[in-house]
């Protein structure tokens, strides 16, 4: 059974940092692109970042470029999102998702909540 379990969310002050993790199981992690998608409270979905199977390609939405870094450790079946210089508008539930054929998100975790507030 495919499982994705996010962790690392919490309350952080503006300008602070957090590192999100996503533990994957039930599939060959190194075979898939992986992505982070976020959802602000009561709002829609926003794609944040994606990473290629071997980590050689990474892409970001403009609003997080230079502040967030996506990475992965295939030996640990884990995906990460390092978030620096956090702002109030980064407050959201952050989902990791497996990308089938690079762009289609066929399995999602349950999300980890990031709240940026003083």
Partner 1 sequence: EIVMTQSPATLSVSPGERATLSCRASQSVNIYLAWYQQKPGQAPRLLIYAASTRATGIPARFSGSGSGTEFTLTISSLQSEDFAVYYCQQYHNWPPITFGGGTRVEIK
Point out which residues bind partner 1 (CB under 8 A).
Answer: 35, 37, 44-47, 50, 59-62, 95, 97, 100, 102-106, 108-111
Measured from the CB atom, is 13 or 102 closer to partner 1? 102
Q: Which residues contact 90 (CB under 8 A, 6 or more apart)?
A: 38, 64, 83, 114, 116
Measured from the CB atom, is 83 or 97 closer to partner 1? 97
Q: Shortest approach of partner 1 to residue 106 CB, angstroms?
A: 5
Measured from the CB atom, is 16 or 115 closer to partner 1? 115
């Amino acid at each position: 059974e495919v499982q994705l379990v996010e962790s690392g969310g919490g309350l952080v002050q503006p300008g602070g940092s957090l590192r999100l993790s996503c533990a994957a199981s039930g599939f060959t992690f190194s075979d898939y692109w992986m992505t982070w998608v976020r959802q602000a409270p009561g709002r829609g979905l926003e794609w944040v970042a994606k990473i290629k199977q071997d980590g050689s390609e990474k892409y970001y939405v403009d609003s997080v470029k230079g502040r967030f870094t996506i990475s992965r450790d295939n030996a640990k079946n884990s995906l990460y999102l390092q978030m620096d210089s956090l702002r109030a508008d980064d407050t959201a539930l952050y989902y990791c998702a497996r990308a089938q054929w690079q762009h289609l998100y066929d399995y999602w975790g349950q999300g980890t909540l990031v709240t940026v507030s003083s």
